[in-house]
Amino acid sequence: MKRECRPGDKTTTEGEYRSRLALMFLDRITAESVWTLEEYGVSAEELLDPERGPLPHPLDVFDRHISRADRIGALEKADQEIRFMERHDVRFLSLLSSEYPPLLREIPDAPVGLFVLGEDDLSVIRNLAIVGTRKCTQYGLQFCNQFVEGLSEQIPDARIVSGLAHGIDTGGHDAALACGLKTWAVVAHGLDTIYPAANRDLAARIVRSGGLIITEYPSGTRIFRNNFLHRNRIVAGLCPATLVVESEIKGGAMSTANTAFSYSREVFALPGRYTDLCSEGCNHLIASEKASIYTGVKALIDRLGWVSAIKKQKFRLPEHTLFPQLAGAEKVLYDIMQKQNTEEFTVDKLAAISSLKAYEIMAALTELEFAGLVSRLPGSRYRLC
């Protein structure tokens, strides 16, 4: 029997869907485990079949750690979870689902599956994480409003991702809703509750506005401190970039920033006075070169290579000329690319040849691309047209 009603699992049999969900209830199953099973052609349904025989080497490691009783218990819990999901319109996306977030799938410790409330498309990638301290200042909240407003004007299809906590998380979600951007809240518990309770209305508004509430935890999961640290990797993993607005030297926002850095994702930090406790973390990230200093919406967009709606409106079919009139960084890069005996260039290579910073190079390459002088290739490589 095919399951037709659950996005991301349209071609998955009822038994395989149930078994992939059951994997969420086995402690020793990780993303690496799922990829190993996929590599050897063993489905979740085959793995969890209570009546199957022993698995061959090297898959016998699963038999050593997962007993027949474990398999039966996981399937029973999956049945219970499916009943909860059907009552509350919750989706489950397995790591193997075609609609599992592509950026999140890239991280080594990706969740085996996600429970999702809301109908937005998780395959989009123009997502930005906004994180910070719960003990934020009015300045931090004002910055969230101004930044998200500026971002929404240039990237109206961007998603703001955060953790639904008090402080900067709430400020980022609220700012997105006020500006008409969809926002995703990643929580550290099951979807049968909302923590903190004061943000229940915010969570409802997020879903009503087309956003999502996301978790890797099934219903009934109690709130533990470590769950929030695990949650932070999902916030970082869903996004090509994380912006830290205000943070002490230790805390959840620093955990998210460091995790994003470890995934080779962009990290930005809002600088502050060295005497401000709420800026210690941001200043430390900048000083340790784990984060780029935030200098404005345009610089952030250019660094990410996102094309703004404003530029799209101004865009015209390029008029190629033999002698383009260029100035500044655009001229520097164009001249370098003409003189070098290399057909393709990366940002790192251009930075090594020129005296320009990476964000200046990204901005200039974007302008050259709009002028029809440079084309962008897969893998963030560029060449002259």
* Segment 137-157, tens digit of pLDDT: 999 999 999 999 999 999 999
Asked if pLDDT for residue 187 goes beyond 90, the answer is yes
Confidence of residue 328 (pLDDT cuts 50, 70, 90): confident
349: pLDDT confidence band, cut at 50, 70 and 90?
confident
Range of the domain at 79: 14-94
In one letter, which amino acid is 297? V
Residue that the structure tokens 């978790």 belong to: 215
Average pLDDT, the chain: 89
Query: What's the confidence (pLDDT) of residue 297?
Result: 95
Q: For 44-47, which contacts have Cβ atoms below 8 Å and span 24 or more sequence positions? A: 44/16, 44/19, 44/20, 44/94, 45/13, 45/15, 45/16, 45/18, 45/19, 47/19, 47/71
The answer to whether residues 297 and 362 belong to one domain is: no
Q: Are residues 189 and 218 in the same domain?
A: yes
pLDDT at 122: 94
User: Is residue 104 one of the residues assigned to a domain?
Assistant: no
Q: What is the pLDDT averaged over residues 240-245? A: 97
Q: How far apart are CA 108 and CA 237, in angstroms?
A: 10
- Has residue 116 been placed in a domain? no
Q: State residue 101's pLDDT score.
A: 94
pLDDT band at 383 (very low <50, low <70, confident <90, very high): confident
* CA–CA dist 323, 81 (Å, integer): 65
Domain boundary at 281, 304, 327, which? Answer: 304
Q: What is the mean pLDDT of residues 56-63?
A: 91
Residues 167 and 218 in one domain: yes
**Res. 373 pLDDT band, cuts 50 70 90:** confident
Report the pLDDT value the prediction gives residue 372, as an integer from 0 to 100.
74
Claim to verify: residue 169 and residue 216 sit in the same structural domain: yes
Mark whether 176 and 260 lie in a shared domain. yes
Do 300 and 336 lie in one domain? The reply is no
| 120: in domain | no
The answer to whether residue 14 scores a pLDDT higher than 60 is: yes
> What is the share, in percent, of the chain residues with pLDDT greater than 70?
91
Q: Is residue 191 part of a domain?
A: yes
In a domain, 119, yes or no: no
CATH number of the CATH domain containing 239: 3.40.50.450
Which whole number is the average pLDDT over 54-81? 94
* pLDDT bucket at 316, cuts 50 / 70 / 90: very low
Alpha-carbon distance values, 59 to 26, 44, 68, 69 (Å)? 16, 13, 15, 18
Same domain? For 142 and 175 the reply is yes
- Cα–Cα distance measured from residue 40 to residue 70, given in angstroms and rounded to the nearest whole number: 22
159 vs 331, which has greater pLDDT? 159
Q: Clarify whether residues 288 and 329 are in a common domain.
A: no
Question: Is 268 within the bounds of a domain?
Answer: yes
User: Per the domain annotation, does 166 fall within a domain?
Assistant: yes
50 burial class (0-12, 13-18, 19+ CB within 10 angstroms)? exposed
CATH code at position 352: 1.10.10.10
At residue 317, the pLDDT reads: 40
Between 174 and 315, the higher pLDDT residue: 174
Within a 10 A sphere around the Cβ of 211, how many other Cβ atoms?
A: 25
Residue 365 amino acid letter: L
Check whether residue 272 and residue 337 sit in a common domain. no
- pTM: predicted TM-score of the whole model, two decimal places: 0.78
198 inside domain: yes
pLDDT of 19 above 80: yes
Q: Does residue 269 sit in helix, strand or coil?
A: strand
| pLDDT band for position 378 (cuts 50, 70, 90) | low
For the ranges 136-140, 166-170, 357-361, the lowest mean pLDDT is seen at 357-361
Number of domains forming the structure of the chain: 3
Q: 361 falls in which pLDDT band (50, 70, 90)? A: confident
| 42 and 142 belong to one structural domain | no
**Mean pLDDT of all residues in 194-206:** 95
**Tens digit of pLDDT for each residue in 99-135?**
899 999 999 999 999 999 999 999 888 999 999 999 9
| Residue finishing a domain among 269, 304, 339 | 304
Instruction: Point out the domain boundary residue: 264, 281, 304.
Output: 304
Asked whether residue 171 carries a pLDDT value surpassing 50, the answer given is yes
Residues 282 and 168 in one domain: yes
Asked whether residue 247 falls in the same domain as residue 322, the answer is no
- What confidence category does residue 8 fall into, taking pLDDT thresholds of 50, 70 and 90? very low
Residue 379's pLDDT is 57
Q: What is the mean pLDDT of residues 187-204?
A: 95
Residue 1: pLDDT over 60:
no
- pLDDT value at position 380? 65
